[in-house]
Amino acid sequence: MGSEMASSGAAPEIRPVILCGGSGTRLWPASRESMPKQFARLVDPVQSTFQATALRVADQALFAKPTVIAAAESRFIAAEQLAQVGLSADILLEPQGRDSAAAVAVAALHAASADPQAIVLIMAADHVIGDADAFRAAVAAAAEGARAGQIMTLGIEPTRPATDYGYIRRGSALPAAAGYAVERFVEKPTQAGAERLIADGALWNSGYFLFRADVMLAELAAFAPDTLAGARAALEAAARDLDFIRLDAAAFATCPKISIDYAVMERTGRAGVVPVSFPWSDVGTWDAVWQVLDHDAAGNALRGRVELIDTKNSLVHSAGDGLTTVVGLEDVVVVTTPDAVLVASKARSGAVKELVGQLRAKAHPEADAHLRMYRPWGWYQRIDIGERFQVKRIQVVPGGRLSLQKHYHRAEHWVVVKGTAEVTVDERVALVHENEAIYLPIGSMHRLSNPGKIPLELIEVQVGSYTGEDDIIRVEDIYGR
Amino acid sequence: MGSEMASSGAAPEIRPVILCGGSGTRLWPASRESMPKQFARLVDPVQSTFQATALRVADQALFAKPTVIAAAESRFIAAEQLAQVGLSADILLEPQGRDSAAAVAVAALHAASADPQAIVLIMAADHVIGDADAFRAAVAAAAEGARAGQIMTLGIEPTRPATDYGYIRRGSALPAAAGYAVERFVEKPTQAGAERLIADGALWNSGYFLFRADVMLAELAAFAPDTLAGARAALEAAARDLDFIRLDAAAFATCPKISIDYAVMERTGRAGVVPVSFPWSDVGTWDAVWQVLDHDAAGNALRGRVELIDTKNSLVHSAGDGLTTVVGLEDVVVVTTPDAVLVASKARSGAVKELVGQLRAKAHPEADAHLRMYRPWGWYQRIDIGERFQVKRIQVVPGGRLSLQKHYHRAEHWVVVKGTAEVTVDERVALVHENEAIYLPIGSMHRLSNPGKIPLELIEVQVGSYTGEDDIIRVEDIYGR
């Protein structure tokens, strides 16, 4: 204990919590429920904002092992992306989204179970921060106030009179720590309101919070007792599921759907704020994505195979193999994916959320599902579909193993194009190598796994009267699905 | 002969000629060299403009069997599209495009070989005409002038001061027939020039011509003797190739690359024009396509799977299975295909030609090749490609038969998903039915045909170190390729 105190001072560790809920519909079609923006690589082609967020608090001298609170459906992506950057975390799974108050309550309870006075740092998984050192310095400063019993936020110095952010009016300087008491939280203002707020020294509400676990629990008990009770019951009845902690669905469902801002921050007398000026964006719209990206001389931010004629100040993002071209336009967003294309006025890119609502109302599958669907064992992607057939490309990671399954309405032909497959068909087990094929008759019990050291890729040709995903009868699954 | 004269009068038959050259790059990506706009179904989802053009002159009481002059590469599409609408034609193949003077010379020679005084009607394959009866009435009127020795054109009454069309200034009324002598042809004018021309009663130059074969040949001899000599030699040395007449390449290459307007019309004293006022468009740009299509209340013309928010006066054309969305834009053109997307300002849609030049300069394959490639036996389309593999969907028409071939660098797996295939592999012939597969080892001599009554569809998975189209060693081919 002595040497630990010598290296980290007398301060308790900061316990980072990454909130990963949210489906990011305003960045459709790159972000969809099946691969929301915090996991997509929209800003940086190498790293998702979730990964960048986790790496920002990876310094073990300053931060404890992080906790990730994610939607149950995102659990394999979250775990896989952490593994890619060499990190591990406690992953708590929300059976359904109940907004941020419930998630913060779970985070505070989880931290308190280890140390009631633990300092908890709540972070969004989908923000871009331009200066990690400045961020950590701000967190260290805010931690002082947290230790002194404040619920601290990071308040971003505004760079423009944004109307799509909440603002924080600061009051007097805190007596015992850096920062200010919060005078008032102000909802998204008008343009004129934003200008007045900025003139008065107000800050953008970033959604980052630092608090002592016991302080937050006391405030939740006072202002949001239902949320706290539901979160506590959900955590007490949580089930371990592989490496995940699955919150109890029935208990969690009793948590009111409310944000931590409404539930606690706007009511507590303990709110404090540390002003920060590092580059920050919540990348909430395609316009915001364009703003954080590098631009060429014409003000364009380009990704993938793109060709332009006389086009300016635009974001053109060509995902997949296709070629995307733009002629004679300014201030537009063009995002192309293999199954869906968005063309929008940059100024109206906030309306993409409304568009996705329209797509859902009309039952377009592209509203929520990506063509490439990630699974714990790898991914699959439909590459063709016709009247009585469907073709998929399937990748299985080394050691990956699909469920033991059968289909009532289709036969399948598998052609291995990379790696080696171990295929079980009824009683028989076969190794199928590159350039070999195997046939799975209708009704046969089968299982695919990758016993090798490199990813396995195969082409699956399904033939039958019905090729929907719901004609999969799972008999056994190592991933507990 | 008596009854024929009773039904058609003393008039000789009109011999329609459809000029099908041109790659229509300004309508990229829907129109490409591998499927140019006259064969694509851009305006009418059921019928190409080539088919509509042929049907417009299908009345055998008025018109003889048409002659089609097409690029050699388009021969199977042209024949197939004629067959689809129940028509047949003499199809003359240009080994390379030499502009319209050479094509008109070939047409005049071909007609004269049957009847030196035949009336020839030259038509473009890529125009939209809103009133077929009015068109035929105009042709009948212009045929009078042609019989009297004039080279007649149809002059469209302008509906706006277009700067992208040529104009015809009319002179005195013809003495012996409907219409006027042409005073002068005027190249694409400025806006002010167009307004003056229209005030003076000038007409748009539609590119339709009617003439007696002997008259055109005499004028060609006088004004374009090299063109005439090259065309004559190319026709005399032409080869019959299945149902096609293939002009001799060496001879045809001697024809100067010049339009019939420059070569003859602007020089002859015999030019006449019949004013017409039927709805007409050369559908030369996406803007022009938008103009001829029906619009919804917001002025949008939509095709395929499209969803809009606050979008006006735009053309959104979603080819293939994908979903195309537009938010908050006006006067744009969005054309999506499975491998390429165009987003353009409607006003700048003429610059698509420049864009295609840029794509060619950068060697993007999408500049000229479509993903779905038509062949005499059907079509194929790449549906996936990876490091050492490629997947195609192949359709073979009933009776279709691919060449006998082999590959040095790839093996192939064929899975039949519809119909029945007859597959020859080396010495063996097998019938492969729906939901059956067959393997073609590297180097095996193989052939695919469809012996059935319905189209055959199969998924081809190629595996090997190289999957390019040029690793096809053709040993025998019923289509003479």
What is d(CA B51, CA B73) in angstroms, rounded to the nearest whole number? Answer: 18
pLDDT of residue A10: 42
Residue B213 lies in a domain: yes
Residue B200 lies in a domain: yes
Domain boundary among A330, A361, A392: A361
Whether residue A256 is found in the same domain as residue A348: no
Contact assignment for B364 to A340 by CB distance below 8 Å: no
Indicate which of B308, B318, B325 best probes the interface with A, i.e. most A CBs within 10 Å of its own CB. Answer: B325
Whether residue A267 is found in the same domain as residue A300: no
pLDDT of residue A4: 37
Distance separating the N- and C-terminal Cα atoms of chain A: 42
* Chain segment B178-216, per-residue pLDDT in tens: 999 999 999 999 999 999 999 999 999 999 999 999 999
Residue B186 lies in a domain: yes
Q: Which domain holds residue B455?
A: 372-476
State the CATH number of the domain containing residue A389: 2.60.120.10
Residue B16 lies in a domain: yes
Residues of chain A with pLDDT under 70: 1-12
Structural domain total, chain B? 3
pLDDT of residue B45: 85
Please tell me the distance in Å from B307's CA to the nearest CA on chain A: 8
Whether residue A264 is found in the same domain as residue A410: no
Give me the residues of B, 437-466, that contact A with CB < 8 A.
Answer: 437, 439, 457, 459, 461, 463-464
Instruction: Quote helix, strand, coil % in chain A, to nearest 5.
Output: 25, 35, 40
pLDDT of residue A33: 86
Whether residue A178 is found in the same domain as residue A83: yes
* Chain segment B85-133, per-residue pLDDT in tens: 999 999 999 999 999 999 999 999 999 999 999 999 999 999 999 999 9
Under DSSP, is residue A89 helix (H, G, I), strand (E, B) or coil? coil
Whether residue B333 is found in the same domain as residue B231: no
Residue A413 lies in a domain: yes
Q: What percent of chain B has pLDDT over 90?
A: 84
Please tell me the distance in Å from B350's CA to the nearest CA on chain A: 10
Whether residue B16 is found in the same domain as residue B162: yes
Domain boundary among A260, A281, A302: A281
ipTM over 0.90: no
Domain boundary among A303, A327, A361: A361
- Flag whether residue B415 sits within 8 Å of chain A, measured between CB atoms: yes
* Chain segment B306-342, per-residue pLDDT in tens: 999 999 999 999 998 899 999 999 999 999 999 999 9
Residue A114 lies in a domain: yes
Whether residue A327 is found in the same domain as residue A459: no
Residue A367 lies in a domain: no
Whether residue A414 is found in the same domain as residue A271: no
Q: What percent of chain B has pLDDT over 70?
A: 98
Q: Is the pLDDT of residue B6 over 50?
A: no
Q: Per-residue pLDDT averaged across B382-400, rounded?
A: 94
- Flag whether residue A417 sits within 8 Å of chain B, measured between CB atoms: yes
Q: Which residues on A lie below 8 Å from B342 (Cβ)?
A: 325-327
* Chain segment A233-291, per-residue pLDDT in tens: 999 999 987 779 999 999 999 999 999 999 999 999 999 999 999 999 999 999 999 99
Mean pLDDT for chain B overall: 93
Residue B367 lies in a domain: no
Whether residue B353 is found in the same domain as residue B394: no
Whether residue B211 is found in the same domain as residue B317: no
Give me the residues of B, 345-374, that contact A with CB < 8 A.
Answer: 345, 347-349, 351-352, 354-355, 358-359, 362, 364, 366
* Chain segment B33-57, per-residue pLDDT in tens: 888 999 998 888 889 999 999 999 9
Whether residue A67 is found in the same domain as residue A164: yes
pLDDT of residue B10: 42
- Flag whether residue A321 sits within 8 Å of chain B, measured between CB atoms: yes
Give me the residues of B, 141-180, that contact A with CB < 8 A.
Answer: none
Tokens 């016991």 appear where?
A214
Whether residue B93 is found in the same domain as residue B237: yes
